[in-house]
A and B are shown apart, each in its own frame.
Chain A
C-alpha cells in the first residue's frame, strides 16, 4: 500500500493521463448522453447569473446543471490531488524551456505555476492585468466564439470525427504559437516584468 501511495504521488506520465482523459468521453456519453465539454460551463454561469436579456444567455440553464457539477468536481479533484497526492519535488521542466523562461524573468519551479506571475501580490499591477484579466478575457471570449475549447473541440470533436473541430484546434495552436513566440516577450516587458 505504501508503495502504491509513493507511486501515485509521482507525476503521472502522458500515456496514463491522456487515455484517462480520453475515457471521459465515453463515460459522460454512457452515464447521461452528455458530450464532453468544459467551456460551456462559463456560458451557463452567464445565463444563470447575468443573462441581461441577451438571447445567447436566454435558455434553460438548469438543464445544463450537470456541466456545472462536472466542473465543480474538477475543482474538488484539484484540491484532493494537491492535498493528499501531491508530488513533493520541484516540477521537472525541459532545459530549453527553462532557458527561454529565464530570459523572461521566470526562474521559480517550486510550484506547478510560476509564483512570479500567479500570486495575489500581482493582482493590481500590470502583471495581473496581463495574465489574469486580459488572459481570462481572451480565453472566455475565444472559446465561446469558437464554440468550444480543448475538451469540446480538440478531444470530443476530433474523437467524433468532426472536421470543424480540427479547424478550431489548428487555430488554437496558431494563436498559442504566435503568443508564445512573438507577443509574450514584448508584452511581459510592457507590463512590468
Chain B
C-alpha cells in the first residue's frame, strides 16, 4: 500500500481508496442505488429550481430539513460502521478518505454557490433534471463539464 503514496501528487483527490476496477454486473449495484436516489430527488422535488430559491430566500424549511436529516442519518451510519467495525460486502475494511483543507474550499465553494442559485441544481439534480425531461439541462451539464475542464487546465495557477 505504501507504493501507492508515490502517485498521490498526480491524483490528490480520487483513487486513494483501495478501489479495484469493477466491471459489468459489479457495476449494476451502483446503477440501482443511483436509480433509487434519482427517484427520491424527483419525488421530493429537490431537483426543483423553486425549492432552491425557497432555501436561499429562507422562505421554506424544506431543503434545510432534507440536507440536515441526510447529514444526521449519514453521521449515525458512519458511527455505527466504525463502532461495529462493519466491513464491505467483500469483507474489505471501510475506508473514508480524509479531506485536506485547501483555499479552494472557500473560493471554489463560493463560486459553486453562485452557480447553485442560478441553475437551481447541484451536480446530482442536474442528471435527474435531464432524466425528468428537461432536456435543455444537457447544455448546463456540458457547461459544467467545461467548467470542470477549465479548473483542471488552470488549477496550478490558482491559489490552492
Contact = CB atoms under 8 A, between A and B. Distances in A.
Interface string A140-153: 11111111111101
A59 to B, nearest CB: 4
Nearest to B43: A12
A140 B39 contact: no
A120 interface: yes
A32 B30 contact: yes
B70 A19 contact: yes
Contact of B131 (A25, A33, A74, A120): A74
Contact of A82 (B33, B97, B131, B148): B131
Interface string B37-49: 1111111111111
Main secondary structure of the interface of B (DSSP, over half): helix
B155 to A, nearest CB: 5
A80 interface: yes
Contact of A113 (B19, B49, B59): B49
B96 A35 contact: yes
Contacts of A136: 115, 119, 139-144, 146-147
A101 B106 CA distance: 29
Contacts of A117: 49
21 contacts: A14-B66, A15-B69, A28-B30, A39-B122, A60-B15, A64-B15, A71-B34, A71-B124, A73-B31, A78-B129, A78-B130, A80-B131, A112-B48, A113-B48, A114-B49, A140-B143, A140-B150, A158-B71, A159-B71, A175-B113, A180-B56
Interface of B: 10-11, 13-15, 17-23, 26-50, 52-57, 59-63, 65-75, 77-78, 80-81, 86, 88-90, 92, 94-102, 104-124, 126-137, 139-153, 155, 158
Interface of A: 8, 11-36, 38-43, 45-46, 50, 52, 54-60, 62-67, 69-82, 85-87, 91, 93-94, 96-97, 100-101, 109, 111-114, 117-120, 122-123, 128, 130-151, 153-165, 167-181, 183-184
